[in-house]
Amino acid sequence: MRLPIYLDNQATTRTDPRVVEAMLPYFTEVYGNAASVSHRFGWEAEEAVERAREQVARAIGAEAREIVFTSGATESNNLAIKGVAQAMIRRGNHLVTAASEHKAVLDPMKRLARQGWDVTIVACDAQGRVAPEAVAEALQDRTVLVSVMAANNEVGTLNPIAEVGRLCHQRGILFHTDAAQAVGKIPLDVQAASVDLLSISAHKFYGPKGIGALYVRRRAPQVRLQPLVDGGGHERGFRSGTVPVPLVVGLATALELALDELPAESLRLLELRQRLHERIAAAVPGIQLNGHPTDRLPGNLNLSFIDVDGEALMMAMRDVAVSSGSACTAADPEPSHVLMAMGLSEDLARSSLRFGLGRFTTVEEIDFAARAVAGAVERLRSQRVAWTAGSRSI
């Protein structure tokens, strides 16, 4: 076992060596520009990109021409939200999202709100789940887009996106889902879930960083979208810029591997997560599970340790790489907006750790991590008791 142990797979994943292998020829051999139509270098690159587009489409029940390659889920979310808002401005200016969303959804929404759009942010419940009824209540005649994530990146809770999609379609409203945490981890189908736009990020499922995709429905209904980036008209005009062929090949390869291994791997992760949870619970009193107890990503465990500061706990177990709150907001001293939206007190939110198990996590690592957590919590709590006892005697 090598230290430190990586248990932060909701922040990012190690690129699978099989994915790296598949990408390599596209740096040094098939290095043409996929937009070069006049020679073999370009044709071969284009073939690779179109093969990848087919693979990605098949993975989510879409058609190849409905896939737009982007730099990642942040860009896909921005393109979906700002793109639809601008293209649909004559239809209406009302957008709906949820308080538990990733900043890559909330921040574009906030910018649109500053620019005059009307944005409703619905609450999530205590488990981090967005109720379809809450979304239904927020809908208006002027609503053009609803954005609700498939799986939460902090607490792992799965949302009932098929129900949200159905009620959007009944009202003729477009439905976007940020599926960065769900793709490759739980089965997803854009038809079954009535999804019109879906964001994908390769580095969340053992693919390379800097590549993602946006699914954009072409039929029933056809989504109208204003591009964010102009110049050259690549990706059918939705996203100009030379397509990064090796990254696209990496995305598609990673997705295919993840889907091949999904049934067995989700069972394996579920068992590891239960083992970690049970071992910590057996050794440490005063913990609380955050997120839904069963309806959650198999590889996610989010716990609050009562009377322990999450940051301090993280520092006290340097051999285990986890995250307190969300990695994306780690520079920001505020407690996690997701935990706060779930109604946790600020203290409990600050006492939380996210354990993100992944493809390369082993049983030995889980047992080591459980012991490390138990030891660190005990040390911190005894220091706290000594400190409070000491200060009381003054």
Ligand X SMILES: *Cc1c(COP(=O)(O)O)cnc(C)c1O
CB 10, min distance to ligand X, A: 6
Residue 297 lies near ligand X (rule: CB under 6 A) = no
Q: Which of 186, 211, 187 is nearest to 199 (CA)?
A: 211
Q: Which of residues 39-98 bind ligand X (CB under 6 A)?
A: 72-74
Which region, left, alpha or beta, applies to residue 56 given φ > 0 means left and ψ of -120 to 50 means alpha?
alpha
How far, in Å, CA of 305 to CA of 284, rounded?
Answer: 9
- What are φ and ψ of residue 199, in 5° steps? -95, 135
Residue 128 lies near ligand X (rule: CB under 6 A) = no
Q: Which of 149, 258, 303, 344 binds ligand X (CB under 6 A)?
A: 149
Residue 102 lies near ligand X (rule: CB under 6 A) = yes
CB 201, min distance to ligand X, A: 3
Q: Which of 331, 347, 180, 150 is nearest to 251 (CA)?
A: 180
CB 85, min distance to ligand X, A: 18
Name residue 301's beta-bridge partners.
355
Which region, left, alpha or beta, applies to residue 291 given φ > 0 means left and ψ of -120 to 50 means alpha?
left
Q: Which of 201, 290, 324, 336 binds ligand X (CB under 6 A)?
A: 201
176 or 273, CB closer to ligand X?
Answer: 176
How far, in Å, CA of 390 to CA of 394, rounded?
Answer: 7
Q: Which of 178, 256, 265, 365 binds ligand X (CB under 6 A)?
A: 178
Q: Which of 85, 180, 213, 308 binds ligand X (CB under 6 A)?
A: 180
For 268-308, give the secondary structure using H, E and C.
HHHHHHHHHHHHHHHHCCCEEEECCCCCECCCEEEEEECCC
Q: Which of 83, 108, 132, 212 binds ligand X (CB under 6 A)?
A: 212
138 or 183, CB closer to ligand X?
Answer: 183
Q: Which of 13, 153, 323, 324 binds ligand X (CB under 6 A)?
A: 153
132 or 208, CB closer to ligand X?
Answer: 208
What residues contact residue 390 under an 8 Å CB cut-off, 6+ apart? none
Q: Which of 64, 136, 281, 328 is catalytic?
A: 328
Contact 4, 318 (CB under 8 A): yes
CB 249, min distance to ligand X, A: 17
What residues contact residue 43 under an 8 Å CB cut-off, 6+ apart? 32, 37
CB 380, min distance to ligand X, A: 29
Q: Which stretch binds ligand X (CB under 6 A): 13-21, 162-170, 173-181, 283-291?
A: 173-181
What residues contact residue 323 under an 8 Å CB cut-off, 6+ apart? 8, 10, 11, 314, 330, 353, 354, 356
Helices 103-114 and 73-87, axial angle in degrees (round to 10):
30
CB 212, min distance to ligand X, A: 5
User: Does residue 328 have an active-site annotation?
Assistant: yes
305 or 324, CB closer to ligand X?
Answer: 324
Give the CA diameter of the chain: 84
Q: Which of 94, 176, 185, 204 binds ligand X (CB under 6 A)?
A: 204
> How many residues touch ligand X (CB under 6 A)?
13
74 or 97, CB closer to ligand X?
Answer: 74
Q: Point out the residues that are catalytic.
A: 328
Interface residues toward ligand X, by CB under 6 A: 72-74, 102, 104, 149, 153, 178, 180-181, 201, 204, 212
